[in-house]
Chains A and B, each alone.
Chain A
Amino acid sequence: MTTRRWIMPSLLTLVALLAIASIVIGRIVLGWNVWLDQDAIGRTILLELRLPRALLGVAIGAALGLAGAALQGYLRNPLADPGTLGVSSVAAFGAVLSIFFGIADLHPWILPLSGVAGAMAGMAALFLLAGISASALTLVLSGVILSAIAVAGIALVLSLSPSPWAAGEIVRWLLGALADRSLDDLVISAPLIAIGAALILSSRQALDALTLGEVGARSLGIDLGRAQWQLAGGVGLVVGASVAVSGIIGFVGLVVPHLLRPLVGAKPSALLVPSAVGGAALVLAGDIVVRILPGGSEVQLGVVMSLIGAPFFFALLYSMRRQVT
């Protein structure tokens, strides 16, 4: 019980520290006198590049952590991650299409909005495929189908791309990064993430009841159909909005709930908010790592997340296995 009391304040402190570090660290070294010297360039870098990047790191990390915890709770399966429902792949496909047709350059809003449109289309397809009163299994299988179609679509677009440069442009975006994002991206994604998070958080009662199984939950008076679509809608919104801005950043939604479960207990609803804060911390930390890694070009955040995430996850599983046996 004592651990639970300090976990939230320390996570929030961690996020605050990492956010400050994220604003301070970068390729161009900014002095403390950015404000005093009327240094227009320094101020531009700070306000237009570093600040949006840090804020997006918080928003997207929180979105991925929250979605991961919600899905693991709902499906009662620790393998679920934000990509499970396929919405992230369809969102990526939407964004990739806008690059392929060359409209992404017309206005900075077109690329993220295409991603959001893709996420919405993905959610609509999920409803159609799974039906309103779907079981969790049908929902997951529909997600797998959606994901397969979207990935095939992305591969098709890549192979049809008119030049190696254009293909590179698409791949670069797909790998997932927060580099050079702007406040526009935050303005587009943050409201959708907020609505989605509200939907997810309002279904916490159902999540807890579901630990007793579907029958048990129903006997507690939970409207499972409604709870399910509230969750799916919420996850679709938060994940779609993040993918639309940053591309696909893997592993965050999978790892963070596992990290925090031993600290906050197994109750799914108690895991939601800590997972969001933990996700924010992890994405911020990863985004700082890509900037301080040696070498010229920045490594993509999505790549680093998987590179660090996979061995870490393995170590975690290994220690858990030892505890059980």
Chain B
Amino acid sequence: MEDAHAGLLFSIRRNWRAYVYLLPMIVVLLFLNLYPIAYTFYISLTDFGSGGPNSFFNVKFIGLSNYFHIFYSSYYLPQTIALLQNSVVWATGSIAIFIPLGLLLASLLNQPIRGKWIYRTVILIPWAMPAFISLLTWENMLNYEYGIVNSFLNLLHLPSVNWLGGSPLDVWSALFLTNTWLSFPFYTIVFLAAMQAIPSELYESAQIDGAGTWRMFSRITVPYILPTVLFVGITGWLFTFNNFYPIYLLTSGGPGFTSEIFVVEIYQTAFQDYSFAIAATYSVINFLILLVVAVIAIKYARLTQGWLK
């Protein structure tokens, strides 16, 4: 251990310039990340915006009242639980589609087929388009009366679906569909890159030994790309949990509270109701949930990798 410390100290002494160059970035991160988080936590302990007239400026410290309000109020507690449920559904449902679809497409693109570069380029188009434009286009396509999606269903003699204002199943289907459109290129390309890093000799050896496609995939491809899948899956889940714009633009959390997630509620509470303290409280709760999930997921990922080795 002492030898390791001595080696590191020596490295710092030799490369102190590098550490100095990193300092501004660290300072900026402190002020752009840690400070806003700390300030948000502070706001959640006040009546900022919710204390009556002049409460934008005459801010009073009220301790954990906002938290008690959210967790003990007979009106807000069911709402908070619904937000948590919807956020988990949104993140989990999305990742459950992204990963298998990304693996499938990456596997197909990893084959020795002609014109591969064309397919790779085309696959990137949804990702290259501004998401806002894509979502507005989808909103019109999913329109109940005039949307092209329902027109296509009608052509197949299927009834129209109220995609953005119908049952929870209809609404979540529409949201997952649009989110998949926006996100599948990223997952495909990342998994494809991971697959291409696998030494081809392993597949050759396996073929010589008589292994079939599925066996090669499960015994060679999966173990090699598992760290990538786990990393992308965890970060993708965390990102989707906070993915604001598809839900806000398509349904605004509706109908009713069907698709309302934490981050949309935070935005509406802060910038439509101007209850900044309550919005900050939701933000802190959201942050803590994600922190716990991230820590557990990373630990589980490391355990899984160790088991595979």
Partners in one complex: no
Chain A interface residues (CB < 8 Å from chain B) = none
B positions within 8 Å CB-CB of A: none
